[in-house]
Structure 1
Amino acid sequence: MLLNIRGPRQERRKLITSVVSSQILYAAPVWAEAMTVRTVSNDAALVIAGLIPLRELVRERSELAETAQDETTSASARKLAARARSLANWQSLWANSTKRRWTHRLFPDVGK
């Protein structure tokens, strides 16, 4: 949608913010009361969306930077190994989380 250089100009940021806000707030009066009763934990939302937590992605990138000079394995093999560790760490965090265990019953494995 936008080039990944220098960021969008102010008027484009305002337009995007307006569109996203309109989508989020669509029919808000109908579902507003539900916001006080039902919420989703960050952990559950990430698992449902299939998005690896930012802390794991940061750890993964740091690991890749530290092993960049390792010539005994290929870059793709290092990336696969780092991603496997990220998924294993995420699975461990999800399995040991005390929040939203109902969601855990539906999505016990973060990798699927």
Structure 2
Amino acid sequence: MPNIRGPRASERKTLMSVAHSILLYGAEIWVDALNVPKYQNRMVLVQRRCAMRVASSYRTVSALAVMVVAGVIPIALLAKERKRIYNRCQSEDDRSQIKTERSSGFTMGHSKASAPDPRGPLSPEN
């Protein structure tokens, strides 16, 4: 994208959000790899390039400065946030599943008669 007479900043920010979606795909799994400086630098380089296009800045501007001007959150923080949300949701799902099993009284050791019909209430036997 050209720095002048190109798309508006809002359109550039939309393109930046697409780049973030691509960069953060599966972040819950690989976020720990960002502790290695080489991998973090690669992610920052891509994010910096996109932020330079959003801010219409020159390439001599530092990564942190251009991200502040473009209003972009660093990729490492976004990835860590996604992992925290993923872990929290996963633990809530486990807790709700345990509560459901406890309240229904259904365990793996029960006979077929106490288990719900997998075909639903409209089966011919009902």
Given the two structures, how large is their TM-score scaled by the length of structure 1?
Answer: 0.30
* Structure whose alpha-carbon radius of gyration is higher: 2
Larger RCO: 1 or 2 (CA < 8 Å, sep 6+): 1
| TM-score, normalising length: structure 2 | 0.27
